[in-house]
Amino acid sequence: MNDPTTIRRLYGRRQGHKLRQGQSALVEELLPDVEVPASGPLDARALFGDDRPLELEIGFGAGEHLAGQAAARPDHGFIGCEPFLNGVVGALGHIRDQGLKNVRLHMGDALDVAERLPDASLDRVYLLHPDPWPKARHAKRRMVNDGPLDLIAAKLKPGCQFRLGTDDPTYCRWAMMVMNRRRDFVWTAQTPRDFLTRPDDWPETRYERKARRQGHEVWYFTYTRV
């Protein structure tokens, strides 16, 4: 089990291009309304005022998938985590434009949020195109590792889904190896089509579209928490 007292380091960029005026205004005006509280208990009641099912997206990028899922299931609550400010701005834009009331955002490490959630409280966890950390000496930084997976497993309800997408062949092999040796997740695929074709309820992100344009294969893994 992941030790919550372990000090983690968050790798990767926190900001890209400078925000335009409208984007800065979005961060100042909308983010405080939808931000995951920095401390205190974290559950559906604390976040949404009722006992709705919760879903977590780790590293939502520009937020297309998060917003798509939230729009498809307005009765569920969605927690999106992303340390990259420009990505958070993207998600805020979707929340505003689509009038989404069921999304909360954390600008930072998803694992910090997961640790504060009650065990067996999540109906789904999404991890789409995690940073690949292609060098073997950086493999410990990959989100698909036993530490983060122990935490995800603890927070998912039995029978619920962990969805993982990647277009990186090294990460694909790595993830299959790590996931296949776990006893707490079962891969749902019955045929190659199940992981080679994007499920209808898996909204495409800009990142994924770009990967396909560049000729990359994309793999869609769905695991059930035992």
Question: Segment near ligand SAM (CB under 6 A), from 44-52, 123-131, 151-159, 217-225?
Answer: 123-131
Tell me, yes or no, if 131 is annotated catalytic: yes
- Residue 81 binds ligand SAM, judged by CB under 6 A: yes
219's tokens:
């793999």
- Provide the Cα torsion 72, 52, 60, 131; round to 10°: -120
82 vs 225 by CB, closer to ligand SAM: 82
DSSP H stretches of helix in 55-109: 64-72, 85-98
Q: What are the phi and psi torsion angles at 216 (to 5°)? A: -80, 145
Number of residues that bind ligand SAM (CB under 6 A): 21
Q: Report how far apart, in Å, the C-alpha atoms of 85 and of each of 14, 15, 183 are.
A: 6, 5, 36
Region near ligand SAM per CB under 6 A, out of 39-47, 82-90, 94-102, 217-225? 82-90
The answer to whether residue 90 forms part of the interface with ligand SAM (CB under 6 A) is no
Strand order across the 219-225 sheet: 103-106, 77-81, 54-58, 122-128, 156-166, 219-225, 185-187
Return the residues of window 49-68 that contact ligand SAM according to CB under 6 A: 58-61
Residues 178-217 that bind ligand SAM (CB under 6 A): 205, 207-208
Question: Closest separation between CB of residue 147 and ligand SAM, Å?
Answer: 11
Tell me the window of 44-52, 77-85, 170-178, 179-187 that interacts with ligand SAM (CB under 6 A). Answer: 77-85
- Least distance in angstroms from the C-beta of 212 to ligand SAM: 12
> Does residue number 110 form part of the binding site for ligand SAM (CB under 6 A)?
yes
The CA distance from 57 to 127, in Å, is 6
Three-state secondary structure call for residue 214: coil
